[in-house]
Chain A
Amino acid sequence: MHIPDGYLATPVWATLDVAAAPAVGYLARRAQKGLEQSSVPLLGVMGAFVFAAQMINFPVAAGTSSHLVGAALLAYALGPAAAGVVLTAILAVQALVFQDGGILALGANVINMAIAGMLAGYLPYWLLGAGRWRRQAIFLGGFLSLLTSGVLAMGELILSGVPMPGVVIRFSLGVFLVSAVLEGAITLAIMQALTAIHPELLRQPQSDGRRALGWIGVGAIILAVAGVAMASAYPDGIERLADATGIASHATTLLRTPLADYQLGTLGSAWLRKAGAGLAGISLIYGALLVGGKWLARKRGA
């Protein structure tokens, strides 16, 4: 799931790099503030642990096996900010030293795995990790983190115009689902072992008054993942909807003018327009969320 360089369209990787840089900066500041001074070796060694953990195979079925990915586990053990920093460091080392994942695509990989995947894994634990549903929450976290990363990566590839016929998309979604169930089960097995031998190493989740917000988050993640999956598996439906509401025509006229002389050569126009329309959609949603969030914050402050 590490996207190499050369797959994403320029608007896609550039946007995600620009989005990832301040997010990582924020996570680093928060992690530094939230942990004691000894945190640098701890975070580094935990990153090395996730690397090494991939050597231990978990037997699955009929001789096949799977291994830990670790975003959710790190979030449970270190808290979300520190987990984001560790995962970003892992992705950077993988891209630089092991040529696993691209440099320009690093922003995309960081957003898919270290930020979105990690948060999707942390939310269920934050909500339910302390109570009766702890085991289910741990499983659900591992499941959601892997599924979110996978679906995001696939969405970015489709947005970049990498050809993906419906069969391939449905097959990949099936693979994501199976690996997500396995990640949930592996995360749960490790967490149970840790609870038995060293319970003090795990941070107990403290979900105080903001549970409602957390539930909205879980709902949003499930809706978004299902939505992206649906949209990529059945693009025709979305297109028809867009045509019917007239969004598509507006979006393309809006986008075609500034990008007009950019449509070069054989690979150009079609996919670039698609990517542009997708980006316009994303920025619209982002803007709406920003305005909504500001409004909520003001209402709370008042």
Chain B
Amino acid sequence: MPLSTTAAERFYVARTLPDAVAALAERGPQATPLAGATWIMRAPLRQERLAPFYVAISKIGSLREVTVDDREVSIGACVTHAELAGQLAALPDCKALASAAGSAANPAIRQVATVGGNLCAKGFAAADLVPALLCLDAEVELQAPRGSERLAVSRFLALRAGLEPGQIVRRVIVPRAQRRSVHIRLPLRKAGDYPVAIVSLAVTLNAGGRVDGIRAAVGSVEPTARRWHELEADLLGKPLDPTRAADKAASHGGVFRARDGIEAPGWYRVKVLPSLVRSAVRALQAQA
């Protein structure tokens, strides 16, 4: 960092989206957007160095908006978990996301931790919102100096480590659908802890009660949340059956390259998945 760098340059509070994009682009690849800061402030505990430049984006009003219409739910990048849980409480098709937002971490963290931060914290395997967004077919809208683009959450997760200078998450878009969805997590304590494993499920049922659309996503097991396509294929076309779903989950556990962590070894994270799937399918049955 050059000696002439001032605190104002190192920590810049943007007031508008164009202001933030310009400030990030100007500062180059060493600049990082800062929203709720709950992940970035723990960098020293992870033996990671802080970035030379931060551009705070949480004061930008347009990034704090949630809008709902018949087609989609638009969630600004700086909407907090607490705000999201409140805004989605009345939307039955977004139950998984509302539950993820309302159960992550603890109440004080949920007051400041944001949707965009949860998506961008690439080292945060236990991010609750990510599997919920995956199971709801959400998209991420990126804003860059040259314009904006939308991409599926799974695609964003693959690209997020290499965003261009000035490129930031502007909002997340969740399509509306006649779906049931659920978010099941297993923390070591009842609440307030990182989940050992997460299962997010979304289904649509046909008139006969059979699954005619399904998205299953798993978080906290591998370093990055992802869809569980093998399980989806086995549940498609069948009625909701918790026992059968758990059996199928057990038979497909081998697809995960689970991470070891201080709170649980990798094998344990995989071991609990059938139980979480059983609970998830039971919860879907209960959503009439």
A is bound by B? no
